[in-house]
Amino acid sequence: QADMALFKAKEAGRDTLRFFDPAMQAQLQQRARLEADLRQALPRGEFRLHYQPQVGGDGRMTGVEALLRWAHPAHGMVSPGDFIPLAEENRLIVPIGGWVLETACRQLAAWAADPATAELTISVNVSPVQFREAGFAEQVLATLARTGAPPTRLKLEVTESLFVDDRDEARKTMLCLKEHGVTFSLDDFGTGYSSLSYLKRLPLDQLKIDQSFVRDLLEDEASAAIVASTIALSESLQLEVIAEGVETEAQRAWLMAQGCQAFQGYFFGRPGPVESLPLQA
């Protein structure tokens, strides 16, 4: 595919001579290789789900976020930031997201069978591309039914970008799933460009304060103000609020004092395979 693109660029003439910049050519080839590998990743069983604890005010784990990992045969563990944008472009995120959902639901069903873990929730990130696919709600419900996972333990993490153009469609999909007990969290809150008015209309359950604000909370007054306002806003809208990217005890204490009741971050635990979770066996 890369060769084809180069050939076409050559044919197109002078204006595209920049394609023959060796650095750019290398980049193009690397991308084509990544895309070819990504197409094989699902059939070859190279994806893994890692889980990161989410804790309440008392420090007890209430649930986890499922984070996708790609065990690439040559490059080792590849981070989602390095392949999800590409998977969204070529729509591979649809089958990949289906696998994530299935795997998380199977874990939920296993936990539901044991009273010690039955209350734990799993938050699953859903790409707007996947969410907007026709039949997405039905697919989620079918996965829940097939695996026997309790719908009330599944939380779907969506981002503001989902509500930019097709808010009504997204709302319908959310309402359908909520009827069955599935909950919704708004991930990376405050980093999008959408207006706050959608918060009134969408059936959200939780706001997730973006880690960029949490990171410099104690050094930057603007970040602190944004976090404090988000906590207050959640309270008045009766939404749960969770802070992500909490790395220190000082950040946790500050957030607690502001009224935040749920936390996630390296301070409480890094993402890892299910065996790494602090579950009382």
Q: Which residues bind ligand C2E (CB under 6 A)?
A: 52, 67-68, 79-81, 84, 93, 97, 100, 125-127, 157, 187-188, 211, 244-247, 265-266, 271
Rounded CA separation 237/206 (Å):
10
CB of 14 to ligand C2E, least distance (A): 40
Please list every residue from 191 through 250 that binds Mg ion, using CB under 5 A: none
Site for Mg ion in 86-125 (CB under 5 A): 125
Residue 8 CB, nearest approach to ligand C2E (Å): 31
Question: By C-alpha distance, which of 163, 233, 164 is closest to 203?
Answer: 163
Q: Report the nearest approach of ligand C2E to the CB of residue 173 (Å).
A: 15
Q: CA torsion, points 60, 66, 71, 72, in degrees to nearest 10?
A: -140
Closer to Mg ion by Cβ: residue 37 or 187: 187
CB nearer ligand C2E, residue 9 or residue 122: 122
Shortest distance (Å) from residue 97 CB to ligand C2E? 6
Rank residues 37 and 157 by Cβ distance to Mg ion and give the closer one: 157
| Cα 69 to Cα 157: distance, rounded to the nearest angstrom | 17
Give the one entry of ligand C2E, Mg ion, none that residue 38 binds, where binding means its C-beta sits below a cut-off of 5 to 8 angstroms depending on kind: none
Size of the residue set binding Mg ion (CB under 5 A): 4
* Closest among 235, 237, 280, 229 to 262, alpha carbons compared: 235
Site string (155-194) toward Mg ion, x via CB under 5 A: --x-----------------------------xx------
Q: With left for phi above 0 and alpha for psi between -120 and 50, is residue 129 left, alpha or beta? A: alpha
For ligand C2E, the closer of residues 5 and 274 by Cβ is 274
Nearer to ligand C2E, 103 or 261 (CB): 103
Residue 238 Cβ vs ligand C2E, minimum distance, rounded to whole Å: 23
Comparing CB distances to ligand C2E, the nearer of 9 and 264 is: 264
To the nearest whole angstrom, how small is the minimum distance from the Cβ of residue 103 to ligand C2E? 9
CA atoms of 184 and 203, how far apart (whole Å): 8
Nearer to ligand C2E by Cβ, of 6 and 98: the residue is: 98
- Measured CA to CA in angstroms, residue 205 lies from 10, 79, 188, 232 at distances of 53, 28, 14, 15
User: Which residues would be at the binding site for Mg ion (CB under 5 A)?
Assistant: 125, 157, 187-188
